[in-house]
Amino acid sequence: MSHETIFTKIIRREIPAEIIYETERVLAFKDISPQAPTHILIIPKLAIRNLSDAQPSERDLLGDLLLAAAEVAKRGGLAESGYRVVINNEVGAGQTVFHLHLHLLGGRALGWPPG
């Protein structure tokens, strides 16, 4: 089911964002509060609340998101140095914007396990 978030407004260009990659179905833009030298959000233009809400019919779109993350990482020179892709699912995992998004993080050493 469709619902409005700040990301819907970014998709519609109603609020500014530093968009760095776009396809028919996917948008990628810089996180407003970066947690690493590279911190980019990759989102579907279709409003899906989170990963738990994703449907089997959205399989291709979910694949698009991962491939977009890999492409953005490659373009940003991170493919060799390494990067991390994170999905926070629900409040307990730190989700604050309820529109499915991948965090692409890189440009510094990334500890494991994450906090």
Separation CA 60–CA 86 (nearest Å): 19
State which of positions 49-108 bind ligand AMP (CB under 6 A): 88, 94-97
Nearer to ligand AMP, 73 or 100 (CB): 100
Nearer to ligand AMP, 41 or 69 (CB): 41
Separation CA 8–CA 15 (nearest Å): 9
User: Residues 31, 58, 64, 71: which binds ligand AMP (CB under 6 A)?
Assistant: 31
Nearer to ligand AMP, 8 or 88 (CB): 88
Separation CA 92–CA 16 (nearest Å): 28
Q: Which of 58, 40, 39, 46 is nearest to 8 (CA)?
A: 46
User: Residues 33, 60, 91, 111: which binds ligand AMP (CB under 6 A)?
Assistant: 33
- By annotation, the residues acting in catalysis are 101
